[in-house]
Amino acid sequence: MAYRRDSNAGSTEEVGTLLTAAQIIERVRELGAAITRDYEGRSLVMVCVLKGSFVFAADLARAISLPLRIEFLGVRSYGQGTTSSGVVQITHDLEQPIEGEDVLLVEDIVDTGLTVAHLLELLRTRLPRSIKVCSLLHKPARSCTPVPIDYLGFTIEDRFVVGYGLDRAEVYRNLPYIGVLD
């Protein structure tokens, strides 16, 4: 499966497939089943990190059979380019308290780990009962800080990926699969 789109510069760019939509949905179902088992008898607050994890969170929420609510945390860690600035800016905060709640932080990708490390630190100050991390993707090659990933979809190589919520300069989020731009 290939996807071509006109870039801003007017040239065409080929997006190769790294993970197909079918591979992703199968893995999301497995993650949802594991989370459902682990939290049996409890309820969950999913914290969806915007914007990248909105597609993953939407599918994951429907794969979890527990009472849950969804909160959104807007974060900006990348500019227009493809390298981490290391700076995490909160652009939208949670609407409801998470004190005493079981929280699942849902990320699209853990790259350097700086974003998740920062968000865990922030969320812990709000005294949740527990907090775990679920990430669709992990790029261990670029890790700068060790972060726990309790539920992981796929480990990938150090390539810049787009689609299924992930962007490059805000484009490609609507690709139904994970593609690579090389």
Q: How far is the CB of 37 from ligand IMP (least distance, A)?
A: 26
What's the DSSP call for residue 163? B
Q: Which member of 52, 128, 153, 179 binds ligand IMP (CB under 6 A)?
A: 52
In the complex with ligand IMP, the residue whose CB is nearer, 105 or 110, is 110
For the question of residue 150 being annotated catalytic, the response is: no
Q: In angstroms, rounded to a whole number, what is the distance separating the alpha carbons of residues 162 and 23?
A: 15
128 binds Mg ion, rule: CB under 5 A: no
In the complex with ligand IMP, the residue whose CB is nearer, 20 or 89, is 89
* Set 38, 108, 111, 167: catalytic member: 111
How many CB atoms sit inside 10 A of residue 172's CB? 20
Burial class (CB in 10 A: 0-12, 13-18, 19+), 152: middle
Q: How far is the CB of 127 from ligand IMP (least distance, A)?
A: 24
Q: In angstroms, rounded to a whole number, what is the distance separating the alpha carbons of residues 3 and 54?
A: 21
In the complex with Mg ion, the residue whose CB is nearer, 44 or 75, is 75
